[in-house]
Structure 1
Amino acid sequence: MNEYAIGAAFGALIVLAVWVSLYWRKRWIESYIMEEEEPDGDYKIILRKKSPHQKIAVAEACGIYHLFADGSEMLSTNKAEDQYAEAIVHVPMAAARNRESVLIIGSGAGITAREVLRYKEVESVTAVDLDPIIVEMGKTFEPFLAFTRGSLNDPRVTAILEDGRTFVENSTDRWDVIIIDLPDPSFHAPGLNKLFSVEFYRLLKTKLNPGGAMAIACSIVSTMPEYLAAIRATVKTAGFHVSPYHWDYIVEFAIDWGFCLATLRPVDVLSLEPLVPVKHLTEERLEDMFRLPRYLRVDWDEDEVQTDNNTLLAEVLSGEYRED
């Protein structure tokens, strides 16, 4: 083999090695941060860990920190996260008759607890989350501590490391407000179905004090309004008065989050107003959130509900749901 051939072969090996390296780096990154979830622009992964439940990563981009669980973003220290937290917390707090005791299922690093603690009448917050690494980061990781104002370290907060359903089933407590902020159910995480089921909502109904209110995060509904409709039907079947609402908080990206407000009594949602000073949730904005745009108002069979034994919401999210 002449020198030219040897050089060409060597060069080809280098190209192949670079390609293999880039391929496996991409595969590695996607196992912690899905491509469609990556932060805009240049970013660096500053932490990655495997908890008993999922792969966890923290990325930093332009001074903003992003927390990922199994590739999906859970928390970002930015304005959009503030808006989301205001929507899921201050609506049920305004609708509830009392606000002394609050249960958060899916408390994560503590952004919802931060907003709950802004109410002087709150005496106790029970913050339930399954993942010990995420909770520990909420208590000790400086960027998250600064963003959540150390909410999980507040003496009024009791952090519980347990599955939300298991905790509620074994608890004798009752609460004035319940906030459910969980990942979407999927075929890869079938246990989550039981945290969105009519059976679970019926159980939660027995755990609310008279005049209580509950808020449920209903994911990004911009492209799947059926998901919001299915949760509304499920909560209604459990015996609640249900008012769906939304927050198109990143209009430029056409992202619209859905929520359901569930109460034990009828509530005039158009008369609700924030009870504490907030950055983004004005009285007018709150009223507009309950006026669902046309694209979110879909026909839905009220008998089609999530149960402990079906995969309705996972089918809706995956596009596999078909009406009979």
Structure 2
Amino acid sequence: MSFIKDGWFWETNEQWAGFGVGLGIEKVLFQEKSKYQDVLVFKSTTFGNVLVLDGCIQCTERDECCYQEMIVHLPLCCHTDPRQVLVVGGGDGGVVREILKHSSVEKVVLCEIDEMVVEVSKKFLPDMAKSLSDPRVQIHIGDGIQFMKEHKAEFDVIITDAPDPIGAAVGLYQESYYQCLQAALKPNGIICSQAENLWLDLHIATMLFQLCQRLFPRAGYAYASMPTYASGQIGFVMATTNPDIDFTDPCKKLTEDEIEAMDLKFYNSDVHKAAFVLPQFAKKETASSANSLANFLQQNSSANSTAEFQF
């Protein structure tokens, strides 16, 4: 349970027993409950404006580049010609901003269930949300799962900017969701989804990686540092319908001039390759079958058996 006390915001969570993340608050800028969740924006003392949804930090102006750049450029730099891209979640606009830096992209569809997130981000996170006014961007306020069911074999890359698997959000970590992703991809398509962290959520990261291995001919797991996320790290699961794609060796290797032109602060081709080099404990776990999908779903979905997560 997250809370504000003595000028600090504290993010705590049953998922991470005995662990919390704290940020000093300079000023609360917005606090309201939408149809779907609690929305909080505050100006922190050192990380700029911070967006918090249902008590979980989504992004800060200071370090959002780490997450946005990695979840986008990992898959797009592995695709030879990404033209149509779908973002599920990501109403703050940061993921869309990074996608538009690829000149081949012709259309980006953003599926976000909560319109308040989009509007709040436009006001308080303008560097991220300014991308949403680009003519190549289509904003769909509604259920991303239903959208994918109605748009099969349409996208070159699909990025899922998912929250943590708590409550109804467990649905984003189920095989049926990844089957929807698979069906919405064009041939040679790539997916990339937020996949928790190795220190606190290794069982979830392993489950997602193994799920993708079963559904796709090629899968991978990468991670990056992220100061204001739990454990200071975040992971990404990737998969593709093309068995010849090697995620560790991007087909598009950015030059220093390209990096400068794209205004990248975190991602480069060396970081891309290094992101797939797992520490030994994680390498051993992801190679095993100890943490099965069935066990994860049984433990986490019983209380939400009738719930359906929407974006």
TM-score bin, normalised by smaller chain: 0.7 to 0.9
Structure 2 counterpart of 1:304: 292
Structure 2 counterpart of 1:212: 189
Residues matched between the structures, number:
280
| Letter of the 2:161 counterpart | D
C-alpha distance in 2 between matches for 1:296 and 1:95: 23
Could you tell me which of 125, 129, 142 is aligned with 1:144?
125
Q: CA deviation at 1:240?
A: 4.2
Task: Please report the RMSD computed on the Cα atoms of aligned residues, expressed in angstroms.
Answer: 2.9
- Tell me whether 1:104 sits opposite 2:87 in the alignment: yes
| Contact 1:179 1:214 (C-alpha < 8 Å) held by counterparts | yes
- Tell me whether 1:287 sits opposite 2:273 in the alignment: yes
C-alpha distance in 2 between matches for 1:35 and 1:224: 16
Structure 2 counterpart of 1:71: 55
C-alpha distance in 2 between matches for 1:306 and 1:116: 34
| Contact 2:92 2:129 (C-alpha < 8 Å) held by counterparts | no
- Tell me whether 1:166 sits opposite 2:146 in the alignment: yes
Deviations 1:119-145 (A, max 9, x none): 11111000011111001223x30x411
Going from structure 1 to structure 2, the CA distance change for 1:112 and 1:306 (only over 3 Å counts) comes to farther
Deviations 1:164-203 (A, max 9, x none): 21221233461011001110121xx22x232222122122
Deviating more after overlay: 158-167 vs 168-177: 168-177
| Contact 2:90 2:161 (C-alpha < 8 Å) held by counterparts | yes
C-alpha distance in 2 between matches for 1:196 and 1:261: 13
Structure in which a larger fraction of residues adopt helix: 1
Residue ranges of structure 1 left out of the alignment (5+ in a row): 1-25, 316-324
| Letter of the 1:65 counterpart | N
C-alpha distance in 2 between matches for 1:60 and 1:111: 18
Percentage of matched positions with identical amino acids? 24
| Letter of the 1:305 counterpart | L
Q: CA deviation at 1:91?
A: 0.6
Q: CA deviation at 1:214?
A: 0.9
Could you tell me which of 256, 266, 271 is aligned with 2:249?
271
Structure 2 counterpart of 1:130: 113
C-alpha distance in 2 between matches for 1:42 and 1:87: 27
Q: CA deviation at 1:28?
A: 7.0
| Letter of the 2:165 counterpart | P
| Letter of the 2:137 counterpart | V
| Contact 1:242 1:260 (C-alpha < 8 Å) held by counterparts | yes
Structure having the higher Rg: 1
State how 1:178-189 maps to structure 2 within 5 Å. Answer: 178-186=158-166, 189=167
C-alpha distance in 2 between matches for 1:148 and 1:250: 18
Q: CA deviation at 1:216?
A: 0.9
C-alpha distance in 2 between matches for 1:302 and 1:135: 40
More relative contact order in 1 or in 2 (CA 8 Å, sep 6+)? 2
- Tell me whether 1:203 sits opposite 2:184 in the alignment: no
Q: CA deviation at 1:210?
A: 1.6
Residue 288 of structure 1 aligns to a residue in which SS?
A: helix
- Tell me whether 1:95 sits opposite 2:73 in the alignment: no
| Contact 1:231 1:306 (C-alpha < 8 Å) held by counterparts | no
| Letter of the 2:151 counterpart | S
- Tell me whether 1:261 sits opposite 2:261 in the alignment: no
Structure in which a larger fraction of residues adopt strand: 2
Going from structure 1 to structure 2, the CA distance change for 1:242 and 1:306 (only over 3 Å counts) comes to farther
Going from structure 1 to structure 2, the CA distance change for 1:284 and 1:38 (only over 3 Å counts) comes to closer
Q: CA deviation at 1:310?
A: 3.3
Structure 1 counterpart of 2:221: 244
C-alpha distance in 2 between matches for 1:149 and 1:137: 9
Going from structure 1 to structure 2, the CA distance change for 1:45 and 1:236 (only over 3 Å counts) comes to same
Residue 146 of structure 2 aligns to a residue in which SS?
A: helix
| Letter of the 1:154 counterpart | D
